[in-house]
Amino acid sequence: MTLTLAPLDDFPLVNPGDDVGVLIHESLSNNELNLKDGDILILAQKIVSKAENRFVNLTTVKPSTRALAYADEIGKDPRLIELILSESNQILRTRKNLIIVEHNLGFVCANAGIDHSNVHGPWGDPEDWVLLLPKNPDESAASIRKFLEQRTQTRIGVLIIDSHGRAWRLGTAGTTIGLSGLPGLVDLRGKPDLFDYRLRVTMVAAADELAAAASLVMGQANESTPVILVRGFPYSLREARLEELIRPKELDLFR
């Protein structure tokens, strides 16, 4: 198996209202790349959030009594905490300058995925602007995929990723937050190993493995490569949604 990950170089800055599918189609042409059946496009969450105008200026946010209480406890801006609360189903853990939540989308992450890096708003103090995650990354991925499949007459997958910390390890890694046209999980239960032992519990988080690999190619600072073309994915494409990657609460021993 050969798996290749090719960044779309010189991808343009994305602004609210931009059509990400159109930008990707133009960038593929500029990079002299053509989509083939089975290809996967991996998108950094930021370009989707920016196109969907998920910008918020903190000066427009009025913190609630609950947000003010958390601000006293952990030392974060109460306006930011108000946004975190609005983007979350549940606060799971807190410590100084950090809130771990169950996001409205169902996964667990820090600060509801709200980010300030590489975010610049149209007015006011740049420090006051933050960016929320897309409202429905699965739908965003499906829309981009539909456009590109129609334009190129191919069958592809689209993955939207973000950088998340992990419960048992230090550092962030690329993680799936939305997908369309490729499996989140690949069930290998019942498959034989080298010695014909039948696997009993193995399920591969294929989408997250791709997300982590793509994150290495994208970089985390000023690389300006938010879209990666993947070729050689070793599993069959199929319809899927983010929910198949999220561990049910009744099976989560750490909540």
User: What are the pLDDT tens digits along the chain (255 aa)?
Assistant: 799 999 999 999 999 999 999 999 999 999 999 999 999 999 999 999 999 999 999 999 999 999 999 999 999 999 999 999 999 999 999 999 999 999 999 999 999 999 988 888 888 888 999 999 999 999 999 999 999 999 999 999 999 999 999 888 999 999 999 999 999 999 878 888 888 888 787 889 999 999 999 999 998 655 579 999 999 999 999 999 999 999 998 888 877
What Cα–Cα distance (Å) separates residue 78 from each residue in 63, 123, 126, 176?
6, 21, 18, 28
CATH of domain 55-131: 3.90.1660.10
Q: 177-195 burial, b for 16+ CB within 10 Å, e for fewer?
A: bbbbbbbbebeeeeeeeee
In the chain, domain spans: 4-50+138-241, 55-131
pLDDT of 162 = 96
CATH of domain 4-50+138-241: 3.30.1330.100
* pTM to 2 decimal places: 0.94
pLDDT of 255 = 75
- Return phi, psi of residue 98, to 5°: -150, 140
Candidates 202, 190, 205, 191; CA nearest to 244 is 205
